[in-house]
Amino acid sequence: MKGILFDLDGVIADTAVYHFSAWRQLIKKHFNCDLPDELEVKTKGVSREDSLTAILSYLKIDISEEEFEALAIEKNQLYLQSLTTMTETDILPGIKSLIDDCKSKGLKLALASASKNGPIILDKLGLAHVFDAIVDPSEVRKGKPAPDIFLAAARQLDLLPSECVGLEDSVAGITAINTAGIVSIGVGGPELNHAKARFETTKDVTLEKIEKVFKR
């Protein structure tokens, strides 16, 4: 094991809830509809545009390309508003020590997030300097659940997929890691049972446990 590929929202920071709450506000304002909880799983790890497509298709709403673009921009503005008070204290429990342990063992670290806001968030969390590679999701051909972003992360670290482990909180993300031929570790509920190993919370994920899963 030579590299760890981190997802951001839901693994490094608890931003998944802000994403869905921004979608909820937006859809309420424009269409006066309430989004059910089960739609959150479908938007986790999925790009802004793919999330909006999934939401509109669930609501059976058809809009023009211009309206689609305007909604995506407005959603991002709402999301960014919820990040204004974000600081280092918003790093999820156990993640800072996991990163420190990886660094002291000489492991390479990459960020494989679908979020175009990744660099802003890492900056707010004081983690901008930590990663050896940060994949730009707009440079990747297909988003999660396609394997592209994790393959790009391994490539940018100069590693083979088989030398890496990927950490994810989303169904789409675990599928992406598995399809890339990378050892997957899920952080979250039983919807992530397709991961090689799964932990309920970030607190439970230590380097020692990751090493054990990799050797299994």
Q: Residues interacting with Mg ion, by CB under 5 A? A: 7, 9-10, 45, 169-170
CB under 5 to 8 A by kind: which of Mg ion, ligand B16, none does 40 bind? none
Active site residue 7: yes
Choosing from 7, 50, 148, 169, which is the catalytic residue? 7
Alpha carbon distance 90, 84 (integer Å): 12
Q: How far is the CB of 196 from ligand B16 (least distance, A)?
A: 19
Q: Is the Cβ–Cβ distance between 56 and 3 less than 8 Å?
A: no
Q: Which is nearer to Mg ion, 113 or 156 (CB)?
A: 113
Q: Which is nearer to ligand B16, 29 or 212 (CB)?
A: 29
Q: Specify the residue, 115 or 210, whose C-beta has the smaller distance to ligand B16.
A: 115
Q: Which residues of 107-122 are buried (b: 16+ CB within 10 A; e: fewer)?
A: bbbbbbbbbebbbebb
Which of the listed partners (Mg ion, ligand B16, none) does 48 bind, with a CB threshold of 5 to 8 Å by partner kind? Answer: ligand B16
Based on its alpha-carbon atoms, the radius of gyration of the chain, rounded to whole angstroms, reads 17
- Find the DSSP H helices in 37-163: 38-43, 48-59, 65-81, 95-104, 118-124, 148-156
Task: State which residue, 68 or 211, has the beta carbon closest to ligand B16.
Answer: 68
Residue 61: CB minimum distance to Mg ion, A: 25
Decide if 9 is catalytic: yes
Min separation Cβ 168 and ligand B16, Å? 8
What is the contact surface with ligand B16 in residues (CB under 6 A)? 7-10, 16, 19, 43-48, 51, 76, 113-117, 170
Q: Are 167 and 7 in contact (CB under 8 A)?
A: yes
Q: Pick one of Mg ion, ligand B16, none as the site partner of residue 108 (Cβ within 5 to 8 A by kind).
A: none
CB 20 to Mg ion: min, Å: 12
Residue least distant from ligand B16 (Cβ) = 113
The catalytic site residues sit at 7, 9
